[in-house]
Amino acid sequence: MTATSTFSVALANETATAELMADLALLIGAGDVITLSGDLGAGKTAAARALIRYLAADDTLEVPSPTFTLAQSYELPSFPLVHADLYRINDASELEEIGLAPLPDDIVVLIEWPERAP
């Protein structure tokens, strides 16, 4: 059985977002799926960037938004991670094309706009 946790939080700024994501990084491992929801400009990519940089132990790591590539892969010290943005997903077959159907269980998957997944 898989345990799930959901929470919603409003953060004051990017520093607060980075601090929350650093705390979250201590709790995750291969097989976990993290979803980030919110309106355009809500800070989903900033949160993802902070989490990936923390896990990579590199504050200057280039972490582009995967809005156009749909998925970006990272080989991090603890486990591989895929950062996906489903904003432009229109069909379930597209999830398979980017390696998210079925969800891999040996990596961390970080998904922006999860509600767009069929």
CATH number at residue 18: 3.40.50.300
Question: Angle between the 14-25 and 44-56 helix axes, to the nearest 10 degrees?
Answer: 50
pLDDT digits (tens, 9 = 90+) for 46-87: 999 999 999 999 999 999 999 888 999 999 999 999 999 999
* pTM recorded for the entire structure: 0.89
How many independent structural domains does the chain possess? 1
Residue 21 has what pLDDT? 95
Structural domain includes residue 32: yes
Structural domain includes residue 4: no
Residue 3 has what pLDDT? 73
Structural domain includes residue 34: yes
**Cα–Cα distance, 6 to 50 (Å, whole number):** 19
Structural domain includes residue 6: no
The residue whose two tokens read 């489903």 is 86
